[in-house]
A and B are shown apart, each in its own frame.
Chain A
Amino acid sequence: MADAETVARIIRLNGGKLIGKTRLQKSAYFLEALGVGFELDFTYHHYGPYSEELEYLANDARALDLVDIDWRRSSEGAKYAIYLDRSGDLPKDSKDARRVEALKILGQYSSTELELAATADFLARSGYGDDAWEETERRKFSKTSPDWVARAQELLKRLEAGGRGD
């Protein structure tokens, strides 16, 4: 069962810092998909699988000083969040080692690549099956340069090799 500490745990396992809401959402999504998640619900939003509950928990974690959010502005003026772990001691969890392994893989890919991979994975589980990539490219044609798609597909393969859940 997810709670505010869940958010702090994800950030801590990511090295104590995590950049951007998209990365937080998609990291949590893949942990769930790999069977090492926190029972979060994800639904399809315009940016791919999204957990409203996680958004609320991130707010709670901040309110409880378990995480800090450093707001920055990109060169183009867009606001984005840097999440920092401030939780102190967290109880040990047997799944943490696998989570770290997955987060390390995810950390090698951009937020756009995570978004594409998570979207394709989610659509594959939502009735699109083998057509999931085609559908992802149709929905996200502005973000589907061949390079990004190839990298996102590679990401899914690497996660698959590590043992993805159903």
Chain B
Amino acid sequence: MPKPQRIRDPIHDLIEFGVDDFEQMAWSLLETPEFQRLRRIRQLGFSELVFPGATHSRFAHSVGVFHTARQLAGHIGAKLAGADRRRAETAMAAALVHDLGHGPFSHAFEAFAKKLVKAKKLVKKVRHEEWTIDIIRGDTNVGRILEKFRPGFREEVAQIIAAPTPQDIYGSIVSSQFDADRLDYVRRDRVMSGVYHGVFDCSWLLANLEVDDVPLARDDEPVGTVPAFVLSRKAFQAAEAYVLGLFHLYFTVYFHKTTRGAEKMLTALLLRLDELLRDGKSPDCGLRGDHPILRFIKDGTLDQYLRLDDFVIWASFEEMAGAKDPIVNELATRLRERKLYKAIDVSALLEHRGGAAATARFKAKLAEARRAGAFGPIDLLEDSATRNPYQRHGFETPESLSKVLIRLSDGTGCEDLRDCSNVVEALEEITIFRVYVRDDEAREKAMKLMEGV
């Protein structure tokens, strides 16, 4: 007999899995090794070095996203004539598994994988979305469960995750300005990190969520109309707070200089392991030859990737702290003991001394200094990051399904939040550029470069 299941969650309270086939299938996904691995991947990676409470896992987040996706799908079911239950199931399953492909310390590991791909190693994938798709399509427990639920289901789930823009209202549950992912992580990351930025009234937003036909355009080409989520005018302020809150979280939590500095140190450490392997000096790295990190660098397979998680990396610091190689030794020891590089926030320091042009000139001087051998390989680590407050995937997205849409005051139609909110319209993309320095000497050299830019 199928049995209902329950999970207590700090954000959503009780999350229940019912006895119907779909929810039982969703529950069985949680029990797979691929899903259990997410318990060992922290949602915010090194953020806990700054916000000690931020130790929550991608497992908890994924369950929260599923719960939120189910709420959104419920809205569609209740408000859209001819709602498609099968498509809703695809979206909810995609929401549940969307983070399976995250590597340890996501961004640090992706930066490392990018270098491996460039060096034409066997590693072929960088971004977690690609690994997620591999897990869904591959010879995995998750893949088998999805396929068993309904023939072709796993491919439907893979496609909704791989799609560059939502193809219908169900796709917007998985990826849009108002997707289940964001609706969960903005709340979860705020609560767990302990900051008070990013507070928004989610209940009010959901209570004012409607479904309506809106014009759809792709690039410059009008396509017709599609059903989409539209917020009633009463939720205008809540929608503004949501967009603004997400933006603030980037600069207070996600882009925190200490977190990013630790990520850069980890990337440098992993790249050093690759160098040692290439030079036939892997015994100098302190790890045993069949350590999961080294096997991943050598083989780059999905199986090796799934053996990696935050715990494996943290445990490896202990071994690498005894490495013969001085770079591995230093970086592993410093990460383990939280003796991190110090940040120089170049773009902030130059904000009123020439702004972006001065920062660009600093970068050029730094590149020249590096070419001249002024810095050793790990003396100074560079970091660029950018955030557009209201944009998907770094590109302009005209698609109506990606936007936060607000009902017009007279109720006749809807408009993009950016077009009716002075607050959202005024938010501008912010780019940061920092360097992290190994010691006072490197700091002094970097500060010297900043003179006269």
A interface residues, Cβ below 8 angstroms from B: 1, 3-4, 21-22, 41, 43-47, 50, 52, 55-56, 59-65, 74-80, 111-112, 126-127, 138-143
Contacts and interface: CB of A to CB of B under 8 A. Distances in A.
Given A78-B396, A126-B125, A142 B167 contact: yes
A55 B396 CA distance: 13
A76 B402 CA distance: 14
Interface stretch (B72-80, B146-154, B322-330, B358-366): B358-366
A137 B40 CA distance: 35
Contacts of B360: 4, 59-61, 63-64
Given A43-B117, A78-B396, A126-B124, A59 B164 contact: no
Of all A-B residue pairs in the complex, the 3 with the closest CB atoms, nearest first, are: A78-B398, A63-B356, A76-B217
A56 B361 contact: no
B427 interface: no
B164 A60 contact: no
A140 to B, nearest CB: 6
Interface stretch (B16-24, B29-37, B196-204, B218-226): B218-226
B445 interface: no
Q: Which of B110, B159, B396, B433 is most buried by chain A, counting CB atoms within 10 A of its CB?
A: B396
B62 interface: no
Contacts of A141: 159, 163, 167
B393 A41 contact: no
Interface in B50-84: none
Contact of A139 (B118, B164, B221, B397): B164
A60 B162 CA distance: 31
Nearest to A22: B395
Contacts of B240: none
B5 interface: no
A124 to B, nearest CB: 11
A62 B359 CA distance: 12
Residue of B165, B364, B394 most packed against chain A (CB within 10 A): B394
Given A60-B356, A63-B360, A64-B360, A43 B398 contact: no
28 contacts: A21-B395, A21-B396, A22-B395, A41-B115, A41-B118, A43-B110, A43-B117, A44-B127, A50-B394, A52-B394, A59-B356, A60-B360, A60-B363, A63-B356, A64-B357, A74-B219, A76-B221, A112-B219, A126-B130, A127-B124, A139-B162, A139-B163, A139-B164, A140-B164, A141-B167, A142-B164, A142-B165, A143-B218
A141 B357 CA distance: 41
A56 B393 CA distance: 15
Given A1-B367, A55-B386, A76-B398, A64 B361 contact: yes
A4 B361 CA distance: 10
Contacts of A45: 127, 393-394
Please classify how large the interface on chain B is, using the bins under 10, 10 to 19, 20 to 34, 35 or more: 35 or more
B237 interface: no
Interface string B343-362: 00000000000011101110
Contacts of B127: 43-45
A112 B223 CA distance: 15
Given A44-B127, A63-B356, A111 B164 contact: no
A1 B370 CA distance: 12
B248 interface: no
B126 interface: yes
Contacts of A126: 117, 124-125, 130
Contacts of A77: 217, 398, 416, 419
A41 B116 CA distance: 11
Contact of B220 (A50, A65, A75): A75
B384 interface: yes
Given A62-B356, A78-B396, 11 more contacts: A44-B127, A45-B393, A56-B386, A59-B356, A59-B360, A59-B386, A74-B217, A74-B220, A77-B217, A138-B159, A141-B159
Interface string B159-171: 1001111010000
A46 B125 contact: no
B114 A47 contact: no
B28 interface: no
A43 B126 CA distance: 7
A125 to B, nearest CB: 8
A47 B363 contact: no
A140 B222 CA distance: 18
Listed residue (A1, A46, A74) with the most chain B CB atoms within 10 angstroms of its CB: A46
Contacts of A63: 355-357, 359-360
B421 interface: no
Interface in B378-409: 384, 386, 392-398
Contacts of B163: 46, 139-142
B374 to A, nearest CB: 16
A46 B132 CA distance: 13
Interface string B191-231: 00000000000000000000000010111111000000000
Contacts of A79: 396
A4 B220 contact: no
